[in-house]
Every structure is written in structure tokens, then in C-alpha cells.
């Protein structure tokens, strides 16, 4: 399997996917035809979302088609099966999972990625690759009828990871939220993936990439700092 799982979509300069463009190019190799899954987009139309991603990847020769334009659910499943690259965008993780589940696409995506089709996801699209979506930061705006996701990796990603709170705010910190997850799911590992970083999954090894250290959380242990280039 080959996956790139990005914490977020925009680099410090605000340009879409630009911070990971070299890694995306390497992931794609000679593959050109990408199927894009825009279902996490809620406040922008799926066609606008697709256009944004198409524009971002055009310079590296990746051709982006939206799964939603494939027509029937059967045609969408066939589009996944025929894709050279699967791309899952960020937005709301609950809506992403709900829509994939409704359309019967979860098994189709997991199957092709396990068969070797590269997978690129960011934010909600990174959460979707995990065993469950239970480490998302998103608001549960729709019920996805089960939190089980693609289960392509065995760790849980917490994207947009930071432990900072707005000044004076008394809500839970991210570390407190992850600690709660690990009480309820003590057999799991969580990677707190800061903005700007990604996980590169391939050949049985998952490596932290990007400029920043990440944190690995396990039940009953202090978080472990992971440096870029380290296997998680």
C-alpha cells in the first residue's frame, strides 16, 4: 500500500497542497488519472471543491475527476475500481464517512488501495484512512451510522494537532481529548499530526514527513515525540 496522509491542505503561504506537492508527485509516479472524493466539503459545492484540487494538481500533471460526476452509485464504484490514484479531501469527517457509507464506497476504496492504488488524503481524508473516525476534530453534523472507517492503517490520526487553546478558554485541550479517547480505546495509538506534516505509508513502514515533530499517544504513557523522518 502507498498512502500520503496530510494533516491539512494549505501551507503557511496559503497555497493549496503546495507544501506537499513534491511528496504527492512522488506518490503518483507515472499515474495521471485521479478520482477525487469531495464529500467532506459542506459549505462549498463539490464541483467548486473539485475545481480547487484540480487547479492545485494540474502543474504536476495529475488529472482530477470528481467521483460525484461518475453518475450512478454503480458508476462511482466502478470509477474507484478504475482510478490510478484516489484522493480524499478534507472538510467534515462525519459527512465524508456518511456519504461514502451511503454510496457503498468504503469497501471499494479500501479494496483498491490494498491492491496498490495510491491514496492521498488530508484532514478528514486522513481520518478516513484510520480504523475509525474517532480522533477527528470535526463537529458531528450528521450521523455516519457507525464510526468505522477504511482501516488502511493501524494508528489513529489526530490532524491539525496542537495543544494550544485560545487564551482564557476553559474547554478541553487536545491532549485531554486524546487522553479521553485512549481511556475508551486503550488498545489504540494516536498520532498528533501538526499542520504542515504528513504520514507516508509504504512497504510496511509509516514515516513522519514535513517540518515539525509529531506526538505519539498511547494509553497510560506520556506522549512520545516523533521527529520528521522517523518511523511511527
Residues that bind its own copies (CB under 8 A): 8, 10, 42-43, 91-92, 95, 133-143, 146-147, 160, 162, 164-167, 169-172, 176-181, 183-185, 195
**Least gap, CB of 36 to its own copies (angstroms):** 19
* Residue 149 grid coordinates: 472507517
C-beta of 115 vs 169, nearer to its own copies = 169
Hunting for cell 454503480 — which residue is that? Answer: 74
Report the b/e string of 50-61 with b at 16+ CB within 10 A: bebbbebbeeee
**Least gap, CB of 134 to its own copies (angstroms):** 5
C-beta of 4 vs 113, nearer to its own copies = 4
The active-site residue out of 7, 19, 138, 197 is 138
Catalytic residue list contains 160: yes
Catalytic residue list contains 218: no
The active-site residue out of 160, 169, 186, 203 is 160
The active-site residue out of 123, 143, 169, 187 is 123
Residues 6+ apart with CB under 8 A from 135: 127, 156, 157, 158, 178, 181, 190
Give, as one character, the DSSP assignment of residue 222: P
* Residue 124 grid coordinates: 478528514
C-beta of 50 vs 77, nearer to its own copies = 50
Catalytic residue list contains 138: yes
What are the backbone dihedrals phi and psi of residue 78, each rounded to the nearest 5 degrees, phi first? -65, -35
**Least gap, CB of 29 to its own copies (angstroms):** 29
Beta strands of the chain (E only): which ranges? 2-6, 33-37, 63-66, 85-88, 119-122, 156-161, 189-194, 198-202, 205-209, 214-218, 224-226
**Least gap, CB of 209 to its own copies (angstroms):** 18
C-beta of 50 vs 92, nearer to its own copies = 92
Catalytically active residues, by annotation: 123, 138, 160
Amino acid at each position: 500500500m502507498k498512502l500520503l496522509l496530510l494533516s491539512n491542505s494549505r501551507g503557511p503561504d496559503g497555497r493549496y497542497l503546495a507544501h506537499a506537492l513534491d511528496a504527492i508527485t512522488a506518490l503518483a509516479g507515472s499515474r495521471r488519472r485521479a478520482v477525487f472524493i469531495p464529500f467532506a466539503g459542506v459549505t462549498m459545492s463539490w464541483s467548486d471543491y473539485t475545481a480547487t484540487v484540480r487547479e492545485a494538481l494540474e502543474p504536476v500533471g495529475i488529472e482530477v475527476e470528481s467521483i460525484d460526476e461518475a453518475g450512478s452509485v454503480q458508476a462511482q464504484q466502478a470509477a474507484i475500481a478504475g482510478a490510478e490514484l484516489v484522493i480524499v479531501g478534507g472538510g467534515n469527517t462525519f459527512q465524508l464517512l456518511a456519504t461514502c457509507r451511503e454510496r457503498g464506497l468504503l469497501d471499494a476504496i479500501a479494496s483498491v488501495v490494498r491492491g496498490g492504488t495510491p491514496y492521498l488524503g488530508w484532514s478528514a481524508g486522513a481520518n478516513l484512512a484510520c480504523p475509525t473516525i474517532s480522533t477527528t476534530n470535526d463537529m458531528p453534523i450528521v450521523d455516519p451510522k457507525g464510526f468505522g472507517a477504511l482501516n488502511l492503517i493501524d494508528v489513529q490520526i489526530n490532524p491539525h494537532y496542537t495543544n494550544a487553546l485560545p487564551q482564557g478558554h476553559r474547554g478541553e485541550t487536545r491532549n485531554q481529548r486524546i487522553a479521553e479517547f485512549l481511556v475508551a480505546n486503550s488498545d489504540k495509538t494516536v498520532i498528533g499530526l501538526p499542520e504542515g506534516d504528513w504520514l507516508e505509508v509504504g512497504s510496511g513502514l509509516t514515516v513522519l514527513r514535513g517540518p515539525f515533530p509529531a506526538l505519539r499517544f498511547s494509553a497510560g504513557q506520556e506522549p512520545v515525540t516523533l521527529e520528521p523522518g522517523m518511523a511511527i
